[in-house]
């Protein structure tokens, strides 16, 4: 059929709306009319482009499109990849907390009966954990921007070339520095920077010595960079603050589990004047950027007009406060990311064997493997694990069915098998996972 003939056969808007009158109990009429026009226009464009229009009728396409608005786009996902800080799945899984419905004392001092400040809900907890006063903004890139804008706008920040990193999704430290108004003063080489390089770069326009922890990459071989204590000593000698961006935000010593990341409190004790780090990586909380350090510097950051633009909302403050309180009270088991990291290989093997026993009709085996930490933290550090390997007639199709299930299950494909790592599956999700594996992978 010729394109012009196909176009002439398309129904009028009123005709389709009339055929969908039964939907007016679910959707506003104006929304139905708008969607009918959108689908008709899309169909016209398909015909003019020589494409075969969608085989579904116009009415069916409109109803399917409208049905999407009845369910939330943001959904719970079962993460069976074993990647603890999965960037695409929200990084650190949130601890359980009950959102406060209605009003709250977000910016109200209940004791004095006067206006308060929203950052008090996390400030004391940050100070107890980091050993210095702190504030929080909406992510670590915002924390870096705020620090550089307040402390070095129009002036120079000395930083090693080997630390000019990309922090994810195309965002790079030099770009953030430029937007902040700070002037980048690069020193050293990609692989080697010495304390003398910092010293020689300092001039009357220098306002910060910046050190960036390589939390999302590693350099090996012929490399060198000064210890933090050396940089602190130089900063004190020349009267210039030292600012360390720690990125991953490790508050708990994870070396017993094979993760050797610098602790925030250690950097503060070593003399760093200011540190920043993420809230949704090894801290185990929601997306946030936390700045901690000398009281006078934190006060300056808080007075910067951009602090208001970058501040957290009440739900994030509640999630962050919950995480920080659990850290302070050493309730490690109530912080999902830390609980997942701390699971032993033996514990995971026992869980995998148990769950495999429930997979009637599914060809599966328990195999040894590894769980990445992920989320731009501890690169190339893997945790030993045991996985459920499922053999399917069509592993790609089975993986797709898992993703489209309710709830969606995200797994890994390796060596022609579908792998499920229980390290990142909550125990209360195991029965759901078994049901979905059966439905998606049964022989």
CA atoms within a 13 Å half-sphere pointing along the CA-CB vector of 89: 23
pTM given for the model: 0.90
CA angle, 306 then 308 then 311, to 5°: 105
The DSSP secondary structure of 374-433, one letter per residue, reads -TTSSTT-EEEEEEEEE--SSHHHHHHHHHTSSS-EE-EEETTEEEEEGGGS-GGGHHHH
For domain 108-331, which architecture applies? 3-Layer(aba) Sandwich (3.40)
- The DSSP H or E segment spanning 61 is helix 58-67
Specify the pLDDT at position 5: 84
Q: Which residues contact 206 (CB under 8 A, 6 or more apart)?
A: 155, 156, 157, 158, 185, 238, 240
Q: Which residue has the tokens 């979905």?
A: 436
CATH 3.40.640.10 residue spans of the chain: 108-331
Specify the pLDDT at position 331: 94
State the Rg of the chain over Cα: 27
Paired tokens of 70: 């009845």
Specify the pLDDT at position 320: 97
Specify the pLDDT at position 178: 83
pLDDT tens across the length of the chain (443 residues): 677 888 888 999 999 999 999 999 999 999 999 999 999 999 999 888 887 766 668 999 999 999 999 999 999 999 999 999 999 999 999 998 899 999 999 999 999 999 999 999 999 999 999 999 999 999 999 999 999 999 999 999 999 988 887 666 666 777 888 889 999 999 988 788 899 999 999 999 999 999 998 755 566 656 778 899 999 999 999 999 999 999 888 999 998 888 889 999 999 999 999 999 999 999 999 999 999 999 999 999 999 999 999 999 999 999 999 999 999 999 999 999 999 999 999 999 999 999 999 998 899 999 999 999 987 666 567 899 999 999 999 999 999 999 999 999 999 999 999 999 999 999 999 999 999 999 998 75
What distance in Å separates the CA atoms of residue 78 and residue 426, rounded to the nearest whole number? 8
Specify the pLDDT at position 171: 67
Judge whether 95 and 323 are in contact, CB under 8 Å.
yes
Could you write out the three-class secondary structure of 339-378? HHHHCCHHHHHHHHHHHHCCCCCCCEEEEEEEEECCCCCC
For domain 78-89+339-441, which architecture applies? Alpha-Beta Complex (3.90)
Question: Residue 291: what are its φ and ψ, rounded to 5°?
Answer: -115, 130
Three-state SS for 148?
helix
Judge whether 314 and 100 are in contact, CB under 8 Å.
yes
The DSSP secondary structure of 230-268, one letter per residue, reads HHHHHHHHHT--EEEEEES-B-S--GGGT----BHHHHH
Strands 183-187 and 156-160 come out as parallel
Judge whether 294 and 143 are in contact, CB under 8 Å.
no
Judge whether 385 and 84 are in contact, CB under 8 Å.
no
What distance in Å separates the CA atoms of residue 26 and residue 203, rounded to the nearest whole number? 68
Paired tokens of 89: 């799945």
Paired tokens of 376: 């731009």
Count of residues in the chain: 443
Q: Which residue has the tokens 């139905």?
A: 32
CATH 3.90.1150.180 residue spans of the chain: 78-89+339-441
Three-state SS for 221?
coil
């Amino acid at each position: 059929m010729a394109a012009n003939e196909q176009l002439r056969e398309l129904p009028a808007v009123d005709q389709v709306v009339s055929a969908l009158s039964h939907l007016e109990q679910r959707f506003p009429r104006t929304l139905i009319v708008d969607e009918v026009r959108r689908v008709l226009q899309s169909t016209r464009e398909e015909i003019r482009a020589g494409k075969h229009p969608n085989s579904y009728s116009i009415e069916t396409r409109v109803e399917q499109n409208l049905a999407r608005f009845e369910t939330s786009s943001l959904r719970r996902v079962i993460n069976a990849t074993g990647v603890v800080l999965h960037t695409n799945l929200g990084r650190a899984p949130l601890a359980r907390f009950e959102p406060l419905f209605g009003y709250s004392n977000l910016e109200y001092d209940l004791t004095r009966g006067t206006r308060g400040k929203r950052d008090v809900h996390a400030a004391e907890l940050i100070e107890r954990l980091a050993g210095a006063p702190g504030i929080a903004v909406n992510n670590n890139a915002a924390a870096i921007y705020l620090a550089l804008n307040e402390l070095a706008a129009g002036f120079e920040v000395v930083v090693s070339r080997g630390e000019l990193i990309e922090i994810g999704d195309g965002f790079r430290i030099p770009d953030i520095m430029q937007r902040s108004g700070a002037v980048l003063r690069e020193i050293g080489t990609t692989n080697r920077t010495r304390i003398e390089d910092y010293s020689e770069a300092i001039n009357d326009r220098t306002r910060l010595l910046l050190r960036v922890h390589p939390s999302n990459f590693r350099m090996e071989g012929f490399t060198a960079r000064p210890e933090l204590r050396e940089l602190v000593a130089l900063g004190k000698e020349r009267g210039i603050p030292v600012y360390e961006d720690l990125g991953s935000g490790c508050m708990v010593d994870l070396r017993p589990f094979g993760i050797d990341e610098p602790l925030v409190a250690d950097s503060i004790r070593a003399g760093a004047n200011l540190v920043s780090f993420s809230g949704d990586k090894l801290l185990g909380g929601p997306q946030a950027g936390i700045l901690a350090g000398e009281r006078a510097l934190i006060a300056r950051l808080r007075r910067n007009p951009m602090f208001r633009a970058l501040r957290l909302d009440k739900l994030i403050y509640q999630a962050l406060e919950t995480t920080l309180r659990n850290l302070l009270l050493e309730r490690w088991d109530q912080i999902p990311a830390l609980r997942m990291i701390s699971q032993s290989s033996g514990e995971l093997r026992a869980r995998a064997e148990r769950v495999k026993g429930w997979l009637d009709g599914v060809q599966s085996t328990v195999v040894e493997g590894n769980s990445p930490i992920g989320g731009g933290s501890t690169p190339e550090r893997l945790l030993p694990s045991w996985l459920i390997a499922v053999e399917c007639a069509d592993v790609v199709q089975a993986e797709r069915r898992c993703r489209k299930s309710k709830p969606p299950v995200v797994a890994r494909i390796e060596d022609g098998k579908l792998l499920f790592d229980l390290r990142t599956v909550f125990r209360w999700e195991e029965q759901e996972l078994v049901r979905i594996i059966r439905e998606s992978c049964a022989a």
